[in-house]
Amino acid sequence: MLLKHLLQDERGSVGLPIRMVVLTIIGLIGFAAIVTSISNAPVAPRPMYAVTNINTFALPDGSGDTPSLLITVFDNDGNSINNANVVVWGPSRSAAAGGVTDHSGEVVIQIDNISLPMGKQEGYLSVKIMASGYLDYTDAYFVKMVKT
Count structural domains, the chain. 2
Please tell me whether residues 26 and 68 are part of one structural domain: no
Q: What is the CATH number of the domain that holds 104?
A: 2.60.40.10
What's the pLDDT score for residue 9? 63
* End-to-end CA gap in the chain: 108
Please tell me whether residues 143 and 105 are part of one structural domain: yes
pLDDT over 70 (residue 101): yes
What's the pLDDT score for residue 5? 64
Q: Which domain holds residue 13?
A: 2-39
pLDDT over 90 (residue 50): yes
The 10 Å CB-count burial string (b at 16+, else e) for 110-147 is ebeebbbeeeeeebbbbbbbebeebeebebeebbebee
Please tell me whether residues 16 and 86 are part of one structural domain: no
- Cβ neighbours around 107 below 10 Å, total: 22
